[in-house]
């Protein structure tokens, strides 16, 4: 769905998302699934549904909205049993995520440049390592650019990832101009016929105007070297993030034109429910999910699988 | 961002205007707004439920104070309850024998390593001799990161590479501190999920071997509903003694702090407010409460206004602001009311969206500046105050002489005032507000 991948790979991906959501399911979404078996639809049922969405960080307003819509639709269709609402509800959730299924970094080009941005501690560097591996497994020639010259030892961290996945890392020293790193990385990629460059940037809170300006600069540096670069600007979002995730995505989108999301730390008990609001309000696709600390704990995001996974009933225990 | 609870409540109450008491039906409508506001601030659902019930009880039948609108009255109650729930200003426990061992724990990316350095710096400023211990052996380059920070601050770091088990590193670190007369040891551990049994056991082991005086949970202020569970899990296994809330320099409301405090009773000891190593501040419940409500310290402002500001006067002022007829005389009146409330820097901090700006302005500057501004305006006659455009060179010279300032000072004030008028025009739209903020950040 996101780009060409073979069947096994897709199955493997789906399994990973589902696996990571097992813990999630055991939490509140599992209670949602439990709700649907309960019998007649009562006002309390709707309240509980709303509660559970809120617990999943879907957000007060979105949850109220969502339940309202499903409720209307259910009444229109004359549904009586909670179990009948399940399919309808899933449909609505999936629809929210499916509004935007633009292919990731599509199209053949000499050099694909991907800029990765996000707030501090969201998991940018780790995601870049994993994304690099992902691309490499597809037979691409990958390099990483270390444009986080601010945080202590960020360059070292990326270099270690580079070693792990065996791809070159282009870096300057700490404190160097990130724009120069982007420039040098692109030149080096062209010289060495590398076709995919993933650039790590410093963590920045979206409220810091100057730091957001810096990303704009990085983008324009890239654009001057490669046609239409960066081809993707990805926002890395921690799945534990609450309602601020929406503001984050909004500001990043306005300021630096992010094109999609990587949702990280989905192996925790967090549900990443904020992606529903983000998808609804900002029309941004979620491209990947990070599901653990291992290199391979990374998968393409699939809205259907994501939603299906949230509702899948446990066969044994819990 | 500026769609604050108070504005929402105002809208609600506008429909039910002119009541001296808060009727039950009005309160119910208002509670809906309160509930959503708290949820949007990531306060835990259950906590919100209890909280709203309590506020509701207090609000029904409450007399509306003459100086407050019903909306303000409800906000006041909400705020009082929030502050009560957030607890006292808590300090680090530095009693007993040194070295005082402080263990930092938390999820990945919450900001432990940065916080370790900030905490060490703060302890040194308090006269301690801190030693940092690099026990995050899993994240690539985490040890290097702490070492670099140590070097920047000139605070020693104990590290043994990434092959040694963290409990061993920690125990050795504390041993070293004891031997070399360090008075505080800060243990930086790797980020972990609270449900990762193996890694949680590792922390228990560290606790057993180092017997920390403080176990500090470092939590990202942006954390959502999950915060309570994370805190509970860590608390169950480690007896967490305090919370450090990081990344509060962003615009996250930080409702997680409230939830954790309400559910686990863990006190909040510090807040991280920036990437610089000195950006660690003590926690103030009242500020946090206002933040959660998304309204700066408007509450304190309300309270202070209650004491000092003539309500009719401020209504008049507001109307003038809206009609864009705000002149220098109004400005002077406003300044005087403000002066009754405290320093201008502090006031700026109270206004939503301006707190960041306020920090960048040294206090003396603004307050002495204020005095000068007042003197200048007082030296102008009423015609000049109403229409500053008529100020020519001769008038400026007279005003400068009368106020003990110089013509450039007078010019500066006039330019500033013009800018202010323009700003106020912009401030009336959210879009304009944002532009304004950007302007200041540049």
Is residue B107 classed as helix, strand or coil in its secondary structure?
A: coil
Spell out a b/e string for B246-266, using b for 16 or more CB atoms within 10 Å of the CB, else e: bbbbbbbbbbbbbbbbbbbeb
User: pLDDT by residue (tens digit) across B206-229?
Assistant: 999 999 999 999 999 999 998 999
Chain B from 343 to 402: CB within 8 A of any A CB: 356
The mean per-residue pLDDT over the stretch A302-313 comes to: 69
Residues B64 and B16 in one domain: yes
β-sheet with A196-201: strand ranges across: A169-171, A142-147, A196-201, A112-118, A232-238, A260-264, A286-290, A298-300
CA distance A111 to chain B (A): 28
- Residue A20 clears pLDDT 90, i.e. is over it: no
Banded model confidence at residue B156, pLDDT cuts 50, 70, 90: very high
Residues B260 and B225 in one domain: yes
- Any A CB within 8 A of B252 CB: yes
Residues of B in contact with A263 (CB under 8 A): none
* Burial status of residue B232 (CB atoms within 10 A of its CB: 0-12, 13-18, 19 or more): middle
* pLDDT at residue number B2: 35
Structure tokens belonging to residue B283: 């926690």
* pLDDT at residue number B367: 67
Contact A269 B42 (CB under 8 A): no
Domain CATH number, residue B109: 3.40.50.300
Average pLDDT, chain A: 86
Ranking A271-275, B77-81, B334-338 by mean pLDDT, the lowest is B334-338
Which residue in chain A has the smallest CA separation from B141?
Answer: A157
Contact A208 B441 (CB under 8 A): yes
Banded model confidence at residue B79, pLDDT cuts 50, 70, 90: confident
| A298, A131 Cβ separation under 8 angstroms | yes
Share of chain A above pLDDT 70, in %: 87
- Any A CB within 8 A of B1 CB: yes
Ranking A135-149, A215-229, A304-318, B176-190 by mean pLDDT, the lowest is A304-318
Residues B55 and B134 in one domain: no
- Residue B21 clears pLDDT 80, i.e. is over it: no
Contact B141 A242 (CB under 8 A): no
How many separate domains does chain B show? Answer: 3
CA distance B26 to chain A (A): 20
Contact A120 B252 (CB under 8 A): no
Chain B from 151 to 190: CB within 8 A of any A CB: 152
Question: Given the DSSP bridges, would you call strands B280-282 and B268-272 parallel, antiparallel or unpaired?
Answer: antiparallel
Residues B115 and B263 in one domain: yes
The mean per-residue pLDDT over the stretch A286-302 comes to: 90
Residues B335 and B224 in one domain: no
To which H or E segment does residue B37 belong? helix B24-40
Domain CATH number, residue B55: 1.20.120.140
Contact B222 A238 (CB under 8 A): yes
User: Alpha-carbon distance A285 to A279, whole Å?
Assistant: 7
Q: Last residue of a domain, which of B283, B317, B339?
A: B283
Residues B147 and B245 in one domain: yes
Banded model confidence at residue B128, pLDDT cuts 50, 70, 90: very high
The mean per-residue pLDDT over the stretch B271-289 comes to: 86
Query: What ranges make up the beta strands (E) of B221-374?
Result: 242-246, 268-272, 280-282
Residue B302 lies in a domain: no
Q: In terms of residue numbers, what domain contains B330?
A: 309-441
Contact A274 B224 (CB under 8 A): yes
Banded model confidence at residue A89, pLDDT cuts 50, 70, 90: confident
Is residue B440 classed as helix, strand or coil in its secondary structure?
A: helix
Residues of A in contact with B199 (CB under 8 A): none
| B150, B96 Cβ separation under 8 angstroms | no
Residues of B in contact with A244 (CB under 8 A): 42, 221-222, 250-253
Residues B115 and B246 in one domain: yes
ipTM above 0.90, yes or no: no
Chain B from 269 to 288: CB within 8 A of any A CB: 275
The mean per-residue pLDDT over the stretch B259-282 comes to: 90
Residues B423 and B328 in one domain: yes
Which residue in chain B has the smallest CA separation from A48?
Answer: B45
Residues of B in contact with A165 (CB under 8 A): none
| Residue of A51, A206, A243 lying closest to B45 (CB–CB) | A51
């Amino acid at each position: 769905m996101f780009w060409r991948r073979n069947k096994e790979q897709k199955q493997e991906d789906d399994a990973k998302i589902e696996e990571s959501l097992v813990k999630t399911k055991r939490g509140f979404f599992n209670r949602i699934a439990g709700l649907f078996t309960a019998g007649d639809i009562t006002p309390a049922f709707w309240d509980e549904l709303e509660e559970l969405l809120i617990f999943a960080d879907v957000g007060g307003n979105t949850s109220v909205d969502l339940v309202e819509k499903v409720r209307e639709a259910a009444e229109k269709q004359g549904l009586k049993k909670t179990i009948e609402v399940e399919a309808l509800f899933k449909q609505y959730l999936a629809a929210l995520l499916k509004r935007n299924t633009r292919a990731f970094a599509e199209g053949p080009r000499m050099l694909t440049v991907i800029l990765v941005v996000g707030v501090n501690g969201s998991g940018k560097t780790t995601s870049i390592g994993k994304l690099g591996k992902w691309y490499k497994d597809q037979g691409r020639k990958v390099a990483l650019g270390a444009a986080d010259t601010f945080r202590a030892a960020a360059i070292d961290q990326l270099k270690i990832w580079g070693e792990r996945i065996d791809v070159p890392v282009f870096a300057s020293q700490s404190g160097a101009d990130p724009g120069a790193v982007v420039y040098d990385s692109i030149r080096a990629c062209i010289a060495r016929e590398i076709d995919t460059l993933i650039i790590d940037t410093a963590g920045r809170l979206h409220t810091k105007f100057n730091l957001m300006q810096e990303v704009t600069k990085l983008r324009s540096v890239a654009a001057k070297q490669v046609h239409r670069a960066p081809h993707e600007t990805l926002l890395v979002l921690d799945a534990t993030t609450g309602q601020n995730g929406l503001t984050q995505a909004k500001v990043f989108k306005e300021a630096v034109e992010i094109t999609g999301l990587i949702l990280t730390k989905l192996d925790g008990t967090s549900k990443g429910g904020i992606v529903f609001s983000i998808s609804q309000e900002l029309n941004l696709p979620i491209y990947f999910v990070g599901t653990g600390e291992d290199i391979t704990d990374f998968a393409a995001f699939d809205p259907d699988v994501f939603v299906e996974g949230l509702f899948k009933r446990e066969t044994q225990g819990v | 961002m500026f769609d604050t609870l108070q504005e929402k409540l105002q809208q609600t109450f506008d429909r039910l205007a002119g009541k001296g008491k808060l009727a039950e039906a009005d309160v119910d409508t208002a509670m809906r707004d309160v509930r959503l506001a708290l949820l949007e601030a990531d306060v835990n659902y259950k906590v919100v439920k209890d909280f709203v019930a309590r506020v509701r009880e207090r609000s029904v039948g409450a007399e509306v104070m003459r100086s407050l609108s019903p909306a303000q009255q409800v906000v006041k109650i909400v705020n009082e309850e929030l502050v009560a729930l957030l607890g006292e200003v808590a300090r680090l426990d530095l009693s007993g024998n040194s070295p005082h061992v402080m263990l930092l724990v938390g999820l990945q990316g919450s900001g432990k390593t940065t916080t370790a350095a900030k905490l060490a710096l703060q302890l040194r400023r308090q006269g301690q001799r801190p030693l940092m211990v690099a026990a995050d052996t899993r994240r690539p380059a985490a040890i290097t990161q702490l070492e670099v920070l140590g070097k920047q601050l000139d605070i020693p770091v104990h590290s043994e590479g990434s092959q040694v088990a963290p409990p061993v590193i920690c125990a050795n670190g504390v041993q070293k501190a004891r031997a070399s007369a360090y008075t505080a040891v800060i243990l930086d551990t790797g980020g972990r999920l609270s449900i990762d049994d193996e890694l949680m056991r590792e922390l228990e082991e560290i606790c057993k071997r180092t017997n920390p005086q403080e176990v500090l949970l470092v939590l990202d202020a942006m954390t959502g509903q999950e915060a309570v569970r994370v805190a509970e899990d860590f608390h169950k296994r480690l007896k967490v003694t305090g919370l450090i809330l990081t990344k509060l320099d962003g615009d996250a409301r930080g409702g997680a702090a409230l939830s954790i405090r309400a559910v686990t009773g863990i006190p909040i000891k510090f807040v991280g407010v920036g990437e610089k190593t000195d950006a660690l501040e003590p926690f103030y419940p009242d500020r946090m409460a206002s933040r959660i409500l998304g309204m700066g310290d408007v509450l304190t402002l309300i309270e202070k206004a209650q004491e000092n500001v003539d309500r009719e006067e401020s209504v008049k002022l507001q109307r003038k602001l809206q009609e864009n007829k705000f002149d220098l005389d109004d400005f002077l009146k406003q300044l005087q009311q403000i002066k009754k409330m405290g320093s201008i820097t502090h006031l700026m901090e109270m206004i939503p969206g301006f707190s960041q700006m306020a920090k960048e302005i040294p206090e003396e500057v603004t307050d002495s500046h204020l005095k000068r501004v007042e003197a200048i305006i007082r030296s102008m006659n009423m015609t000049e105050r109403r229409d500053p455009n008529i100020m020519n060179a001769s008038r400026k010279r007279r005003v400068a002489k009368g106020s003990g300032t110089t013509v450039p000072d007078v010019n500066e004030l006039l330019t500033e005032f013009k800018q202010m008028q323009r700003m106020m025009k912009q401030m009336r739209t959210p879009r304009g507000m944002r532009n304004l903020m950007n302007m200041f950040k540049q």
